Homo-oligomer: A and B are copies of this chain.
Amino acid sequence: MIESGNAESIRRGGGTGRLKAIKSVLRGRIDDGEYTAGKRLPSERQLCDEFETSRVTLHEILIQLETDGLIYREDRRGWFVSPTRFVYNPQSRGHFQMSASEQGRKPGTVVIDKAIVVPPPIVRELLDLGPDQELARIRRVRSINERSILYVEHYCIPEVFPGLFDHDLSVSMTELYREVYGFHYGRMKYRIMPTAVTGEAAGFLRVSNGSPALLVARVNHSIDERVRDCDLEYWRHDAVLIEVDVEAG
């Protein structure tokens, strides 16, 4: 059997357990702290040399460790050990910045852009809109300890929030809507599913096109149900743990 940390006793050839063996060694190094959270792993080519394996096989091993949530990659920058997951409680009074601080993390928000757009079909469906309705869209990237983990597209009806784009949009939208427009959320409806992150979103999250993510699509309703807006949140799939309490029906 494979000695932990030893690259030499691993057999080669088709279906010989190399993948499993090398994966186990790398997992061991992460577990025992030889590779620490946030730090970059040796490059794929270096690991290939060490384990005397091909880049395709080594790459597949890293992808499986990534699926496990143990490591993450930044496109053309390297593979890194994943920190513990951010705990996302949809019921929390606090917003992202507050929750992150409470969890001992350093939150950050960057506004990518703001524009009046025709929203994608999923947003029209969520908000029950006609085909030509335009919305205000604010795109932001959230980070934890300087690592981009969340890309958000926020959509709302511009007429309901006149002058919205004149405000500082890096703050909590919840607080902005309450303080400036007197708009209070009454309830939120969440849809959660694994998906792929593509296009510009992938770039902002520093992943390659088609990488796995967790999509949280949220529709926010005002207390009187007259006003709705929504958020499409694409979370790096290794970076988030959602916790929800539910009363039995």
Q: Are A245 and B68 in contact (CB under 8 A)?
A: no
Within 8 A of B (CB), among A202-249: 209-212, 214, 237-238, 240-249
Q: Are A191 and B246 in contact (CB under 8 A)?
A: no
In-complex Cβ contact of A189 among B185, B240, B243 (8 A): B243
Please classify how large the interface on chain A is, using the bins under 10, 10 to 19, 20 to 34, 35 or more: 35 or more
Q: Verify if A193 is at the interface (C-beta below 8 Å from B).
A: yes
CB-based contact A211/B249 at 8 Å: no
Is there contact, CB below 8 Å, between A194 and B214?
yes
Chain B hits for A185, CB < 8 A: 248
Q: Given A185-B248, A211-B67, is A241 in contact with B90 using a C-beta cutoff of 8 Å?
A: no
Contacts of A237 in B (CB 8 A): 194, 212
Q: Knowing A92-B249, A246-B91, A249-B93 are in contact, say whether A69-B194 is a contact too (CB < 8 A).
A: yes
CA distance A242 to B191 in the complex (A): 5
User: Which of A93, A192, A193, A195 gathers most chain B CB within 10 Å?
Assistant: A193
> Do B64 and A238 have beta carbons less than 8 Å apart?
no
Neighbouring B residues of A212 by C-beta, 8 Å: 67, 194, 212, 237
- A95, B188: Cα distance in complex, Å: 23
**Residues from chain B with Cβ under 8 Å of A194 in the complex:** 67, 69, 194, 212, 214, 237-238
Interchain nearest-CB distance for A145 vs B (Å):
19
A241 to B217 CA separation, bound complex (whole angstroms) = 11
User: Are A196 and B67 in contact, with the CB atoms below 8 A?
Assistant: yes
In whole angstroms, how far apart are the Cα atoms of A68 and B214 in the complex? 11
Q: What B residues does A244 contact at CB under 8 A?
A: 90, 189-190, 192, 244, 246
A56 contacts partner chain B, Cβ-Cβ < 8 Å: yes
A33 within 8 A of B: no
Return 16 A-B CB contacts under 8 Å, by A number.
A64-B196, A67-B194, A67-B196, A68-B195, A68-B196, A69-B193, A69-B194, A69-B195, A69-B196, A85-B193, A91-B249, A187-B247, A190-B243, A191-B241, A192-B241, A193-B240
